[in-house]
Amino acid sequence: MNKFKLATALVVAFATVFTVSAETSKEDYYEKAIENGEQKDYDQGTKNFGKAYYLRGIEEYDSGKYKAAVSDLTKALEYDPTILGSDQIFYQRGMAKFRLGRYKESLVDFDQVIKFYPTNHEVYYNRGLAKYHLGRYKEAVLDYDQAIKLKPEHAYTYNNRGLAKASLEKNKEAMKDYDQAIELDQTNAKAYNNRGLLKDNLNNHAEAIIDFDKAIELDPEYVKAYYFRGLAKFSLGQRTQAIKDLSQALFFFLKQFGSLTTDENEIKKSLPVL
């Protein structure tokens, strides 16, 4: 969402719900808001409840407590459906669901946001990302198309559209998207990695290694880049170097995740959200 709009809304919400001293904790803020809601008439009270749950939901999202955030943001809507502009609360709840891997549920919230705010590239981008995770690649491409129309300079949208097109075996189009992502942002390690993977799949192993090299230069602990570079080197018969890369991939994987995992939600977190 528009960061300035969200920040302004939060300031207004804090000012209208309650006034407390600087020493008061955030938890006290929420409790005081709920207490104020209980002491006033029903209509005003429910709105105070809604604002308190909204603010706590935002705090929980920022703290990585996505399940709790979904619960509080849902309660906020129940108490006050018009709170702070419903597009914002649906967006935040959709993002929390996305972070939990509840991609199908997140789409419902993203759809609601688009009804309110159809010109924001971020919601199309993240809805496309959710559809990509669900294997709905054609629909993902359409959302990325719209996001690019709204913000054509956003490199990650090209990168992710390239992934969706590669999944549809539209390799030439995918390559163009990766090229464009890199042209817009030459520090985009993921675009170099994804372009390298596509080249490797097309048996251009030597060119792929060059892209993996660049991805690792930009991100020295990039697990996937080491892994795919190792596979490319195996294809070229460079077994010793390949084993070294695969060992590095395993080392950084264990460093980042703590243990081996087959959880796709953990592995897929390399795709950025807005």
Task: Return the amino acid letter for 30.
Answer: Y
% residues pLDDT > 70 (the chain): 75
Residue 70 confidence (pLDDT):
97
> pLDDT for 114-148, tens place per residue?
998 899 999 999 999 999 999 999 999 999 999 99
Give dist(CA 88, CA 191) in Å, integer: 30
What letter represents residue 67's amino acid?
Answer: K
SS (H, E, C) the chain: CCHHHHHHHHHHHHHHHCCCCCCCCHHHHHHHHHHHHHHCCHHHHHHHHHHHHHHHHHHHHHCCCHHHHHHHHHHHHHHCCCCCCHHHHHHHHHHHHHHCCCHHHHHHHHHHHHHHCCCCHHHHHHHHHHHHHCCCHHHHHHHHHHHHHHCCCCHHHHHHHHHHHHHCCCHHHHHHHHHHHHHHCCCCHHHHHHHHHHHHHCCCHHHHHHHHHHHHHHCCCCHHHHHHHHHHHHHCCCHHHHHHHHHHHHHHHHHHHCCCCCCHHHHHHHCCCC
Would you say 119 and 146 are in contact if contact means Cβ atoms under 8 Å apart?
A: no
Could you tell me which of 82, 34, 81 has the C-alpha nearest to residue 56?
A: 34
pLDDT given at position 257: 87
Domain boundaries, the chain: 1-102
pLDDT higher at 48 or 226: 226
* pTM of the predicted model as reported, rounded to 2 decimal places: 0.78
DSSP result, 28-50: HHHHHHHHHHHHS-HHHHHHHHH
| CATH fold for the domain made of 1-102 | 1.25.40
Residue 8 has pLDDT above 80, yes or no: no
Using CA atoms, how far apart are residues 43 and 34, in angstroms rounded to an integer? 13
Q: Greater confidence, 1 or 245?
A: 245
Residues 217-246 have pLDDT tens digits of: 999 999 999 999 999 999 999 999 999 999
